[in-house]
């Protein structure tokens, strides 16, 4: 933070339960965004424009989905210097998510484990929040809206939830991300399999064509995938993305692997592991995707970006843009301009 260094706030926040600290921080940003108090964390945005999927991103560093599930802090988070913000995952109906406690810090590993389970207030509240956001987009920031399925919806009917989500967010998004890779909704990752993915993307692409005609605007659509994929699975996903003409891919979500954190407190908690331990798995998937998709296909790299060097490693692996989440929690807002400046320097 520019006036109150994050190093002073972090010990207090880390003294709280992880989810309580998360809610306190988001609640404060929501109340203070677009007021003079925003100067407490506002930072100059690094100017490094890049055009990808038909969108002009002010710089290559974005916020990953999951931090602001209800889209209530778009302007406040954007003031940290992000070139783009992705909010959600939103589901058609509001849902409480999994029982608490469901978020755990592993500070020895610069990591988090969460099993939140797409807790959010539903599509109507989400869209009202998105419509209220003004300053970030007025200054050229790009907004991605991330959609998922309700936990109570049978996996066989998942396509219906994604179509509802796409219908709702399409008029308000700069790009849409289809999240099929959270480990915290039962059977969700089964949608990454060959036939299921083909059916889902086919339905979404057909609906998108209708929405383009109805609204008179193009909105790129990305797919968010898991790091826990083997080479054959990555190959199938890459071929399916190209066959359906998707606009890009977000790689990756959290991991269910625990090799890097064995023996640490909370390491055996169920959920998705994020932060430094997922870095190499994410980079492996990005490299494999780039090799299969060629040089022109947009890839957003996310997973383990804790420093400027980590952001550069994502670019070297083949990502066009990078996103942060856990790094922001451990490092604070200073990570954003540091990473953006490193990427701008080449």
Which of the residues are catalytic? Answer: 182
CB atoms within 10 A of CB 298: 20
Handedness of CA 39, 44, 49, 50 (dihedral sign): negative
Beta carbons of 174 and 55 less than 8 angstroms apart: yes
Residues in contact with 148: Cβ distance below 8 Å, sequence separation at least 6, in sequence order: 88, 89, 90, 91, 118, 161, 162, 165, 179, 180, 182, 185, 188
28 within 8 A of 40, measured Cβ to Cβ: no
CA–CA separation, 110 vs 275, rounded Å? 6
CA dist 260 and 230 (Å) reads: 18
Q: What sign for the dihedral angle of Cα 179, 51, 274, 194? A: positive
Q: Give dist(CA 33, CA 218) in Å, integer.
A: 29
CA Rg value for the chain: 18
CA dihedral for 241, 242, 247, 252, sign (positive or negative): positive
Alpha-helix runs per DSSP H in the chain: 6-14, 18-32, 74-78, 123-132, 135-138, 158-169, 194-215, 231-244, 279-293, 308-317, 326-331, 335-344
- The tokens describing 327, both together, are 């790094």
Q: How far is CA 173 from the centre of its chain?
A: 14
CA angle 176, 160, 119 (to 5 degrees): 65
C-alpha 108/C-alpha 40 separation (Å) is: 28
């Amino acid at each position: 933070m520019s006036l109150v260094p994050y190093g002073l706030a972090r010990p207090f926040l880390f003294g709280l339960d992880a989810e309580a600290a998360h809610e306190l921080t988001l609640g404060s940003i929501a109340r203070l965004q677009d007021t003079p108090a925003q100067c407490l964390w506002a930072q100059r945005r690094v100017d490094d424009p890049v055009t990808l999927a038909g969108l002009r991103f002010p710089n290559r560093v974005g916020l990953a989905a999951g931090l602001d599930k209800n889209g209530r802090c778009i302007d406040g988070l954007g003031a940290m210097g992000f070139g783009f913000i992705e909010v959600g995952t939103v589901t058609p109906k509001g849902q409480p998510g999994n029982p608490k406690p469901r978020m755990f810090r592993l500070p020895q590993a610069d990591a988090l484990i969460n099993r939140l389970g797409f807790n959010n207030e539903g599509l109507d509240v989400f869209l009202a929040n998105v419509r209220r956001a003004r300053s970030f987009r007025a200054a050229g920031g790009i907004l991605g809206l991330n959609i998922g399925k309700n936990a109570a919806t049978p996996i066989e009917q998942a396509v219906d939830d994604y179509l509802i989500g796409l219908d709702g967010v399409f008029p308000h998004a700069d790009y849409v991300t289809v999240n099929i890779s959270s480990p915290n909704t039962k059977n969700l990752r089964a949608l990454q399999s060959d036939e299921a993915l083909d059916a889902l993307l086919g339905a979404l692409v057909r609906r998108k064509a209708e929405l383009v005609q109805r609204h008179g605007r193009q909105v790129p659509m990305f797919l968010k995938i898991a790091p826990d994929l083997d080479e054959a699975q990555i190959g199938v996903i890459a071929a399916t993305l190209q066959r359906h003409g998707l606009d890009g891919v977000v790689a990756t979500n959290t991991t269910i692997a625990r090799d890097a954190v064995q023996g640490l407190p909370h390491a055996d908690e169920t959920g998705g592991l994020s932060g430094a331990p997922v870095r190499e798995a994410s980079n492996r998937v990005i490299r494999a995707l780039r090799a299969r998709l060629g040089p022109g296909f947009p890839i957003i790299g996310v997973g383990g970006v804790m420093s400027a060097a980590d952001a550069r490693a994502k670019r070297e692996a083949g990502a066009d843009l990078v996103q942060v989440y856990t790094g922001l929690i451990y490092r604070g807002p200073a990570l954003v301009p540091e990473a953006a400046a490193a990427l701008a320097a080449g």
